[in-house]
Structure 1
Amino acid sequence: MKVFFELGWFFKERKKQYLVGISLLIMVAMLQLVPPKIIGVVVDEIGGGSLTVGSLVKWLSLLAASAILMYVIRYYWRIMIFGSSMTLAKRLRAKLFHHFTSMAPSFYQKRRIGDLMAHATNDVSAVQQTAGNGVLTLVDSITTGGFVILAMAITIDWKLTLIALIPMPFMALSTNYYGKLLHARFHHAQAAFSDLNDKTQESITGIKVMKTFGQDKEDIADFKRLSDEVVAKNTRVAKVDSLFDPTISLVVGISFFLTIIFGAKFVVAGDMTLGDLVSFTSYLGLLVWPMLAFGLLFNIMERGSASYDRIQNLLAEKMDVEDKEDALSIRPQGDIEFNINSFTFPGDETPALKDVQFTLKRGETLGVVGKTGAGKTAILKLLMREFDGYDGEIRYGDHVIGDYQAIKLREAIGYVPQEHFLFSASLYQNIAFTNPDVGEDEVTNAARIAQIHDDILRFTEGYNTVVGERGVSLSGGQKQRISIARALLMKPELLILDDSLSAVDAKTEEAILESLKEARTDATTIITSHRLSALVHAHLIIVLHEGAVVEKGTHDELMALKGRYFEMYQLQQLEQQVEEGVSQHE
């Protein structure tokens, strides 16, 4: 019953619908008592020879009226109760989706997409069943069962009623034990489904890589293993689930057996009429559903409880970054002062940044250089306030970044990541994603700055060309340039290019940087790149090594130092000369 108390907040919200639905269920339970009683009366009239055509029509009319009334009432209670359960499912999905979109990227490093999808589908469905079929079976088993037992005891014979109920404690003990087993096993079954869901999503997303490396058979075998595991764990659930009906049927069978033996004895002794015994057995037949509903209730409750626990545990995860109560609702602008003494990613032991300080004037360009793992991404994540736990201070304009609302800070930053995500929509819609209300001229202008406009015009449908999911039909360089155009439409105060020119050739890279310089005269830009030619014209370049700044200055100043930057630049120039020589030779 715990899950019903946990859902109390929803039942209070929908109390009118549930009260009406439950009232209608009670009416149905009372109306169900009419047919068995009428049957008993008719049997007695037949036995006594007093049945007439008029009385038969009267009783049949009463039966028909009760049947029609039950038909109408059942229609409306379904709307009230099942309609409310669908509203709960809608609310939970909305909560989960809002939670997913509010969480920082670190949340998705710990959680698998397939698992999150399982929470929003299977788990929500199980909770919906609890608020719908669960309420139905709870009310119906209690009211129908209670009214039937009272009718048997009061209108027929209380002694025979007690005899018929002797096997009931066995059923209660058995179903309680089955329910505990079901709760534990369903938890494991839902977890297995999450694993399979995640595997399916991952396989479909990475289908091109899989086929390229010829790993189809291995992936299918892995999918089959997980699928078998889902079947095995759900079979364990089904084995417990399948015990309810036989147990209840056995209990009902024993009750009928006792009723026939002792009822026949009471009829022979004259304590009951034959019609009473017929009515009693009919009432006992009505008890079959409440008993089955009682067993089904355990099943629904345990499934719903396990799923609601999973949903609540997920929703209980707090955001890594939360706004202050008086956070500023303005987009930041101005100089950026980055002063971090130390920052360590959650779960890591080694600091990702240590003693990193720089000042970037508004309208200037910062270049960030370093090997993989040197700390470039950490700087960007802190600037975008994906993490708050660090020793130091980051100021944007007149305030530290924690003073701004997170959404306003991110609205001021146009971020082009290393891994580009394009939607299965038209090129126009992908570019206009950050600002859907802009005009066509602004979209094409952003595409020109990103040097993708001419490429788009070469497509058959131009800007209306629909790209595959995640942009599978485009080259890496085209996806990078569409992502840059998309970021530009935000009109960001700060544009961050996180190694997002790596897939374009040197000539296109130079054209993009020149266009950005002309279009963003008063806006700030940060570029991280392994290709140093992208940073030559930056106002400031910092060289990172193991999370610390080892060199800082302009391109000319760093070349004069003849340190790490100098060595990297010379090496890249040599590689470029070799590549050009090979190309000319070919």
Structure 2
Amino acid sequence: MRIFFDLWWFFKQERMKYGFGIIFLMLSSFLSMIPPYVVGVLVDDIRTRSLTSMTLIRWILFLIIIGIIYYAFGYIWRQLIFGSSIILANQLRNSLYKHFTKLSPNFFQKRRIGDLMAHATNDINAVQNAAGEGILTLIDSITMGGMVIVTMSVLINWKLTLITLLPMPIMVLLTMHYGNLLHQRFGKAQAAFSGLNDKVQENVSGVRVIKAFGEEKAQIQLFRKASRDVVDKNIAVAKVDSLFDPTITFIVAFCYFLALIFGSVFVMQGSMTIGGLTSFTLYLGQLVWPMLAFGFLFNIVERGSASYDRIRRLLAIKPEITDQKGASEDVPSGAITYAIKEYSYPGNQAKVLSDIHITVKQGQTLGIVGKTGAGKTTMLRLLLREFDVIDGQISIGAMPIRSVTLDALRGAIGYVPQDHILFSATIAENIAFAKPDASREAIERVAKLASIHEDILHFKDGYETVVGERGVTLSGGQKQRISIARALLADPEILIFDDSLSAVDARTEVSILHALKHERINKTTLISAHRLSAVEHADQIVVLDEGKIIEHGTHEALIKKNGWYAEMYAHQQLETIVSKGGEKG
């Protein structure tokens, strides 16, 4: 029953709905006590031949009125209790989603997407059932059971009631034992479902890679294995679940046996009437539901408790990147200054950046180049505060980025990442992601700047073309250019390109860079790239190697140094010449 204490905060929040819902539920239970008593009275009247047609009609009309009221009360308590449980599910789902948006990339690198989805679906549904069906079965079993027992004891025969209820403690002990087993097994079943969910999500997202490598059969076997594990663990849950009904049914049958044996004795002794025994038997039938509900209650609350534990563990994870107390909400602007002594990723002692000292004046373009793993993307992610610098700081306009809120900081930055994420929406909606109220003219203008407009017009539905999840229906270059258009539409103070021109050809790259130069006057741009042609127009270029700046200057100055940059530039120029020669040949 711990789940009800855990959810006490919500019951207090919705106390009016739950309070009135419970009152109407209890009134419904009280009304259900009336028909068996009426039947007993009628049986005794028939036995004594005192029943008249007028009396029978009055009793029938009375029962019809009771039935109508019972129907109305049932409608009201269902709306209040089940409606409140839906509100709980909505709040938990929103809390989880909001929590996900606050967590750092480090969290998502360690967690499986399918597992997180399972928390937001199956686990929340189980908690919702505990707050709806669980409250119903708890109150109904106590109220109905209590009223039935009191009615049988006070109005009929307390001795027979006591004898009939002797097996009840055995049922309570057994259902508690089943509940503990269910809690353990249901937690494992939910974890197995999370794994299966993750497997499906990965395979659907990577279906083209699976097909390209001919791994369909291998992945099907892995899926069957994961699915079999879910089945096995849910069967283990079902084995415990299936013990509730037979146990309760057996106890109830034994209660009936005791009632008939000892009730017949009391009738023969004259301490009970036949009508009284009839009413007692009907009341005992009404006691079946509270007994069954008691078993259902353990089932529901243990499932809900296991799921709520999983949700709470997730919500208890603290965001690594948060706003400092008193952080400014003003969007920062001005020169960007890196002053990093050294940086390592959380949980990793290896230095990723060392002695990074550079200033980018407002309106300048900075190019960042170097070998794979040199630290280019890390420099950009630190500016976004995806991670925090401990030994050193980054400033915008002489204001450390940790002294402004995350919303203000990211409101100043437009980001085009290496992994171009597009959503299952139209192309126009993807471009307008950061500015949903943008006009079609504005969307088309930035699409032209990103050299994607003509491609879009060739699609059957143009800008209304719906792209697949993560943009799977588009080529790599098209996704990159739509991502660039999305960033340009936001018109940020600082624009970051994280190797975002790698999938476009040289001519398209030149066109995009030319558009950027004219569009982003007095606004800062940071470009990391492997292809040096993407940064040769930059006001300054830094060359990184193993997290350190080994060269710094303009394109012309770096060429004259004859260092890594000059060597790589000559190599790439040669590749371009060979490629063009090959095309001519």
Normalised to the residue count of structure 2, the TM-score between the two structures is: 0.97
Shift of 1:64: 2.3
User: Within 2, Cα distance between the matches of 1:524 and 1:19?
Assistant: 59
Shift of 1:458: 3.1
Shift of 1:212: 1.9
User: Within 1, Cα distance between the matches of 2:545 and 2:407?
Assistant: 31
Where do residues 212-291 of structure 1 align in structure 2 (5 Å cutoff)? 212-291=212-291
- Alignment partner, residue 319 of structure 2: 319
Question: Is the CA contact (8 Å cut-off) linking 2:340 and 2:389 kept in structure 1?
Answer: no
Where do residues 118-137 of structure 1 align in structure 2 (5 Å cutoff)? 118-137=118-137
Residue 471 (structure 2) pairs with residue 475 (structure 1): no
When residues 389 and 293 of structure 1 are mapped into structure 2, their CA distance, relative to the original with a 3 A threshold, is farther
> 3-state DSSP class of the match of 2:437?
coil
> 3-state DSSP class of the match of 1:139?
helix
Cα deviation digits, residues 346-382 of structure 1 (max 9, x gap): 2222121121111111111111112222111111111
Residue 209 (structure 2) pairs with residue 205 (structure 1): no
Question: Which range moved further: 391-400 or 314-323?
Answer: 314-323
Shift of 1:134: 0.5
- Alignment partner, residue 36 of structure 1: 36
When residues 273 and 228 of structure 1 are mapped into structure 2, their CA distance, relative to the original with a 3 A threshold, is same
User: Within 2, Cα distance between the matches of 1:15 and 1:51?
Assistant: 47
Question: Which range moved further: 216-225 or 467-476?
Answer: 467-476
Question: Which letter does structure 2 place at the counterpart of 1:321?
Answer: I
> 3-state DSSP class of the match of 1:20?
helix
- Alignment partner, residue 4 of structure 2: 4
Where do residues 58-137 of structure 1 align in structure 2 (5 Å cutoff)? 58-137=58-137
When residues 48 and 458 of structure 1 are mapped into structure 2, their CA distance, relative to the original with a 3 A threshold, is closer
- Alignment partner, residue 412 of structure 1: 412
Residue 348 (structure 2) pairs with residue 358 (structure 1): no
Question: Which letter does structure 2 place at the counterpart of 1:145?
Answer: G
Where do residues 298-313 of structure 1 align in structure 2 (5 Å cutoff)? 298-313=298-313
Where do residues 385-400 of structure 1 align in structure 2 (5 Å cutoff)? 385-400=385-400
Residue 565 (structure 2) pairs with residue 565 (structure 1): yes
> 3-state DSSP class of the match of 1:264?
helix
Question: Is the CA contact (8 Å cut-off) linking 1:320 and 1:386 kept in structure 2?
Answer: no
Question: Is the CA contact (8 Å cut-off) linking 1:167 and 1:251 kept in structure 2?
Answer: yes
User: Within 2, Cα distance between the matches of 1:22 and 1:425?
Assistant: 44
Question: Is the CA contact (8 Å cut-off) linking 2:382 and 2:389 kept in structure 1?
Answer: no
Shift of 1:40: 1.5
User: Within 2, Cα distance between the matches of 1:459 and 1:140?
Assistant: 60
Shift of 1:279: 1.2
Shift of 1:417: 0.6
- Alignment partner, residue 375 of structure 1: 375
Shift of 1:389: 4.6
User: Within 2, Cα distance between the matches of 1:92 and 1:313?
Assistant: 13
Question: Is the CA contact (8 Å cut-off) linking 2:329 and 2:404 kept in structure 1?
Answer: yes
- Alignment partner, residue 532 of structure 1: 532
Question: Which letter does structure 1 place at the counterpart of 2:14?
Answer: R
Cα deviation digits, residues 26-75 of structure 1 (max 9, x gap): 11111111111111122222222222222222332332222222112111
User: Within 2, Cα distance between the matches of 1:297 and 1:439?
Assistant: 55
Question: Is the CA contact (8 Å cut-off) linking 1:343 and 1:354 kept in structure 2?
Answer: yes
Cα deviation digits, residues 390-425 of structure 1 (max 9, x gap): 210111003100111111111111110111112233
Residue 553 (structure 2) pairs with residue 543 (structure 1): no
- Alignment partner, residue 332 of structure 2: 332
Shift of 1:439: 2.6
User: Within 1, Cα distance between the matches of 2:221 and 2:423?
Assistant: 30
User: Within 2, Cα distance between the matches of 1:90 and 1:271?
Assistant: 56
Question: Is the CA contact (8 Å cut-off) linking 1:365 and 1:538 kept in structure 2?
Answer: yes
Runs of 4+ in 1 over 6 A off after TM superposition: none
Question: Is the CA contact (8 Å cut-off) linking 1:411 and 1:490 kept in structure 2?
Answer: no
Question: Is the CA contact (8 Å cut-off) linking 1:353 and 1:375 kept in structure 2?
Answer: yes
> 3-state DSSP class of the match of 2:433?
helix
Question: Which range moved further: 379-388 or 49-58?
Answer: 49-58
Question: Which letter does structure 1 place at the counterpart of 2:543?
Answer: V
Question: Which range moved further: 94-103 or 191-200?
Answer: 94-103
User: Within 2, Cα distance between the matches of 1:468 and 1:173?
Assistant: 54
Shift of 1:558: 2.1
Shift of 1:174: 0.3
Cα deviation digits, residues 92-128 of structure 1 (max 9, x gap): 1111122222323222212222111111111111111
Question: Is the CA contact (8 Å cut-off) linking 2:535 and 2:541 kept in structure 1?
Answer: yes
- Alignment partner, residue 175 of structure 1: 175
User: Within 2, Cα distance between the matches of 1:321 and 1:401?
Assistant: 12
Shift of 1:297: 0.5
User: Within 1, Cα distance between the matches of 2:360 and 2:514?
Assistant: 20
> 3-state DSSP class of the match of 2:325?
coil
Question: Which letter does structure 2 place at the counterpart of 1:158?
Answer: W
> 3-state DSSP class of the match of 1:434?
coil
Shift of 1:132: 0.7
User: Within 2, Cα distance between the matches of 1:363 and 1:53?
Assistant: 99
Total equivalences in the alignment = 585
User: Within 2, Cα distance between the matches of 1:218 and 1:451?
Assistant: 41
Question: Is the CA contact (8 Å cut-off) linking 1:420 and 1:479 kept in structure 2?
Answer: yes
User: Within 1, Cα distance between the matches of 2:465 and 2:369?
Assistant: 36
> 3-state DSSP class of the match of 1:356?
strand
Question: Which letter does structure 1 place at the counterpart of 2:144?
Answer: T
Which consecutive unaligned segments of at least 5 residues does structure 1 have? none
User: Within 2, Cα distance between the matches of 1:240 and 1:338?
Assistant: 61
Cα deviation digits, residues 246-285 of structure 1 (max 9, x gap): 1101111111111111111111111111111111111111
User: Within 1, Cα distance between the matches of 2:445 and 2:137?
Assistant: 62
Q: Please, what is the CA RMSD of the aligned residues? A: 1.5
Cα deviation digits, residues 287-337 of structure 1 (max 9, x gap): 100000001000111111111111111112121111123211111111011
Which consecutive unaligned segments of at least 5 residues does structure 2 have? none
User: Within 2, Cα distance between the matches of 1:64 and 1:511?
Assistant: 82
Residue 422 (structure 2) pairs with residue 430 (structure 1): no
Question: Which range moved further: 89-98 or 378-387?
Answer: 89-98
